[in-house]
Structure 1
């Protein structure tokens, strides 16, 4: 890891007295408290700002799910390269400074490693209680590794996963712990094993929204298996997750309750986001960028056009806005947003895809329409009905992309579909009289590691996964 990351890890190990960096640092500094009880370690699972941040800014910009202002495009070359799909840009040279996605993910992994290493030896707890915290940290560590591998490495393809490199695997909180840039297959095996070991000990009801419960474990397993194109296992765990929580939020009711504010012409007064800690769709909550704790991204006009007519969730979140030479859909919700966790709507749509893949088209559409009935206003709603597998899958993909915009999932799904080669994802837009295209086979779909990580990899080595 980069030197600054080593300092952060050492502060976690010393200043917060979580673990020692070297033998000579084993003594607890005067005035500090060395964690010994399970409660001491469990408290770090509640550190939202350090351990539950999932910043996928680059992916949102590439998909044009996030509006980037003209000023930002002019001042930030990396933003411009991603947002305008510049195939010639050297993104590696543009990543001189730290990148939040990389360093926040590994900071969280360091904490989860610490808990996994120590939870089973803590005091003032039964073994059953210890196992719960240990299991929760296992799931969260696996989630961070899933995010990293689906950002900085190629997507999972069974025939090449054992030969292509992924990201550094670190399994200890010790500052000098070795890291190895393992293959994609090795990392997926590690992720699956973490969840497998955790599942027997996860609680059905979480202590807080930040603690993954049994439903979260099943839901995440389903997400991982879908990314591996294992539709049988993805469907199995989707059903298990929905047996734990199958609630869908009534966005039509939300719109009707707030329509006086939402529909007021030329007004951008915000309403309160229901997608926070107590959102009924949550399995586990994790936020996105720091700004996403209080607001969400505005979106381009072209992106807004891909939502269904009468989508109450869309209408409740964004409103067309013009300032100077720029027109986009401005955010109109404020509060908390579960952009990094897992929700029931994702699992419903995983189930729908798996059923469609198996040729069970009517069953897949029944699941899809169950979701849509809570989103599309009655005046616009019609059941999607078809016997065509491709039509059904494209409808599922459209709804899923709209539901999970500004999360990692549309980016991960697009990479998965492009690798499959049947339902390829590409985009075209016109700006300033020029046409821009993001091709399905573009190298832009894989993000480069930040320079600091490659040049200062800690006790290991890192090889870039892209040329530029």
Structure 2
């Protein structure tokens, strides 16, 4: 499907233009096709390597969730600044490239805008079929805006959300459509409006893993409300999502099935990942930075120490390796990874956090332990049981960071928690005898817009949300 429609995909990404296009529906050049049927438009959702990719690589670097080889750190100065938490670095100056995070999300938004504007008047489909695709595009657009606002703007705080700027908002696929850099509150209002309008029309069963279903709509609502510190609504939608899909993958079984292979010394042959399109935990699937059949990231020794003893998911994904003077944990799985979508485990842990915050600590830990039983090997497993709210919250957040590694949510959660001020996130490490630190109130928790966007903002203006 991707190749069939690549000649009609003219992308506006607030400065990323295609010279031959006045708008998406102008006369097609020879050899191209103008979409008219619902199937023509629906193919944009299947264009997974453009519209369904969520690259948050610099957030992963800031969290030190991946191992970086020294040569890459020397070459990429922006990566080096984030990886070593260099608060003196001018990341605006270093971010000269047309960063994939920004342009990738706006490319998808432009396609989803196209669908929202046109699918209800397409041919060869029933009204119900048209409305489903319209609703799916609304959810995907809202998800993309959520990614942008939680990367390039400060985190949501109710008292300041109406005064701080977010990211440019554009709702048209026309090349010359105007944009406005709205406030954080306006962006969240827009996201929730899209979701609330879409939910009544979402199907219970997805056409493919790329198409959001009703469970995805509820799960994404829970994610948004949690980020807004609205724990009552987040819990409500988490329960609705889990009523649609509450399946958890048994990583202890996967590890035991592959134990001999995984424990063979110096064997780094890759296994096929179970976290692909048909992963039972998927609500909706979106790629991360690696968008083709690839292996996932390696991780540092420091990062490995944040996993629980006996974590079968960890033991199935990484193995320690030393090459020269460098020791790290080498990846063991290859294939597709749902780093940009939504899974049931995230919703379980949203529910657990909301219950603990509501004073239902034992109930929240019961939800957490439901997840852990499918992850921690029986010989290492013990229920986490405590009446202390802080201990319970730390256990939930630790599990969530490990489960959702390489996606946006650990970064978004850290920003949310730092703004709240109760469960602050900060880091410290020693490398080659030097100590590096990232404080919870560092400006580095907000990423700068790429220079290509600020210097060529399309039909609008863009103001940086961070000083450097």
Q: Shorter-normalised TM-score: what interval?
A: over 0.9
Task: Give the unaligned 5+ runs of structure 1.
Answer: 21-25
In the TM superposition, what are the counterparts of 1:39-58 in structure 2 within 5 Å?
39-58=39-58
Partner of 1:422: 422
Confirm whether residue 104 of structure 1 aligns to residue 104 of structure 2: yes
Distance 1:275 1:425, change over 3 A: same
Q: How many Å separate the matches in 1 of 2:13 and 2:266?
A: 48
2:319 partner SS:
strand
Question: What CA distance in whole angstroms lies between the structure 1 residues aligned with 2:97 and 2:336?
Answer: 28
Q: Deviations over 1:437-462 (max 9, x none)?
A: 01000000000000000000000000
| Aligned residues of 1:2 and 1:455 also touching (Cα < 8 A) | no
* Structure 1 residue 29: Cα displacement: 2.5
In the TM superposition, what is the alpha-carbon distance from 1:32 to its structure 2 partner?
2.5
2:392 is the counterpart of 1:382: no
Match of 2:241 in 1: 241
Structure 1 segments (4+ residues) deviating >4 Å: 1-4
Q: What is the match of residue 3 of structure 2? A: none
Q: Distance in 1 between matches of 2:97 and 2:195?
A: 33
The aligned residue for residue 24 of structure 2 is 19
Q: TM-score, normalised by structure 2?
A: 0.96
Question: After superposition, what is the alpha-carbon deviation per residue over 1:165-197, rounded to whole angstroms, capped at 9, x for unaligned?
Answer: 000000000000000000000000000000000
In structure 1, the residue matched to 2:35 is: 35
Residue 115 of structure 2 corresponds to which residue in structure 1?
115
Partner of 1:372: 372
Q: Which moved more, 1:284-293 or 1:269-278?
A: 284-293
Question: Following TM superposition, by how much is the alpha carbon of 1:31 offset from its aligned partner in structure 2, in angstroms?
Answer: 3.3
Contact 2:13–2:106 (CA under 8 A) maintained in structure 1: no
Q: Is the 8 A contact 1:369 1:384 kept in 2?
A: yes
Instruction: Assess, with a 3 A threshold, how the Cα gap between structure 1 residues 299 and 291 changes in structure 2: closer, same or farther.
Output: farther
The residue number in structure 2 matching 1:407 is 407
**Cα distance in 2 between the residues matched to 1:324 and 1:37:** 58
Q: Deviations over 1:119-163 (max 9, x none)?
A: 001011111111000000000000000000000000000000000
1:143 lines up with 2:154 in the alignment = no
Query: After superposition, where does 1:389-404 map in structure 2 within 5 Å?
Result: 389-404=389-404
Matched, 1:6 2:11: no
1:70 offset after TM fit, Å?
A: 0.7
Q: Which residue of 2 aligns with 1:78?
A: 78
CA contact (8 A) 1:356 1:389 kept: yes
Contact map agreement 2:311 2:377 (CA 8 A) in 1: yes
Does 213-222 or 71-80 show the bigger shift? Answer: 71-80
Q: May I ask how many residue pairs the two structures share in their alignment?
A: 457
Q: Which moved more, 1:292-301 or 1:261-270?
A: 292-301
Structure 1 residues 308-357: Cα deviation after superposition (integer angstroms, max 9, x where no partner)? 00000000000001111111111010111000000000000000000000
Deviations along 1:36-62, one digit per CA (max 9) or x if unpaired, are: 111110011100001000001000000
1:301 and 2:281 aligned: no
Which position in structure 2 is the counterpart of 1:358?
358
CA distance in 2, matches of 1:336, 1:259: 22
Q: Deviations over 1:212-257 (max 9, x none)?
A: 0000000000000000000000000000000000000000000011
Which whole-Å CA distance do the structure 1 matches of 2:15 and 2:444 have between them?
27
TM-score, structure 1 normalization: 0.96
Q: Contact conserved, 1:139 with 1:195, CA < 8 A, in 2?
A: yes
Query: What residue is the counterpart of 1:222 in the other structure?
Result: 222
Structure 2 residues not aligned, in runs of 5+: 1-11
The 5-angstrom pairing of residues 58-457 of structure 1 reads 58-290=58-290, 293-457=293-457
Counterpart of 1:181 in 2: which secondary structure? strand
Q: Secondary structure at the match of 1:156?
A: coil
Q: Distance in 1 between matches of 2:206 and 2:14?
A: 36
Residues in 1 aligned to 2:28 and 2:383: alpha-carbon distance in whole angstroms: 64
**In the aligned structure 2, how far is the partner of 1:96 from the partner of 1:370?**
45
Q: Give the secondary structure class of the aligned counterpart of 2:16.
A: helix
* 8 Å CA contact retained: 2:220, 2:342: yes
SS of 2:458 mapped into structure 1: coil
C-alpha displacement of 1:28: 2.9
Aligned 8 A contact 1:276 1:336 in 2: yes
* Cα distance in 1, alignment partners of residues 291 and 134 from structure 2: 30
* Match of residue 23 from structure 1: none
Q: Note closer, same or farther for the CA distance 1:291–1:138 as it changes in structure 2 (3 Å cut).
A: closer
